[in-house]
Amino acid sequence: MRYKFEQNETIDSADPLVVVEAAAESPETAAIMTYLGNYQVAHAGIIPVKTPDRLVMVKAATIILVDVQHETLMLYTTTSTITTHETLRHLVQRLASPNFIQVSKHGVLNLDHLQSLEDSFSGNMTALLTNQLKTAVSRKYVKDLMSQLGL
């Protein structure tokens, strides 16, 4: 990837215009656009999660795995398991971090807690995570995961 700065007096310096140029749209250009979209989103690194009986403040860095089980969203952290009825999509949007990657229709893992990957059956993989957690990586998501890992 190459990049450069071009001065343009007609553009407000407090609201710069960023243009991504490429021969065609690709996963790389999409990743850059996502990064730019999230650039100014303020994240304190803590997200509130509503449980059935209280509001829990969770440090995003402590989240190992987010998994849907029977219409319940399970957040596995380094210290506990938190249940909520929030949708997976909504939680991932609130996290808005490239460290969280979807690995199945029902699961998202934190790359900072990924310890290893093992081959499984039919092109799927098994992700081994912190605290001896395991999750399946569907073959549909294997390519995206490998790309995110730089492979």
Q: What are the pLDDT digits (tens) for 5-23? A: 888 889 888 788 888 999 9
Say if residue 38's pLDDT is above 90: no
pLDDT of residue 42: 54
pLDDT of residue 44: 60
Q: Using 50, 70 and 90 to split pLDDT, how confident is the model at 97?
A: confident
Say if residue 151's pLDDT is above 90: no
Q: Using 50, 70 and 90 to split pLDDT, how confident is the model at 51?
A: very high
The DSSP code for 101 is E
Q: Judging by beta carbons within 10 Å of its beta carbon (0-12, 13-18, 19+), is residue 113 exposed, middle or buried?
A: buried
What mean pLDDT do residues 44-57 have?
A: 89
Whole-angstrom Cα distance, residue 78 to residue 64? 7
pLDDT tens by residue, 58-72: 999 999 999 999 889
3-class secondary structure for 4-36? CCCCCCCCCCCCCCCCCCCCCCCHHHHHHHHHH
Tell me what percent of the chain is helix, strand and coil, each rounded to the nearest 5.
25, 35, 40
pLDDT of residue 56: 93
pLDDT of residue 54: 92
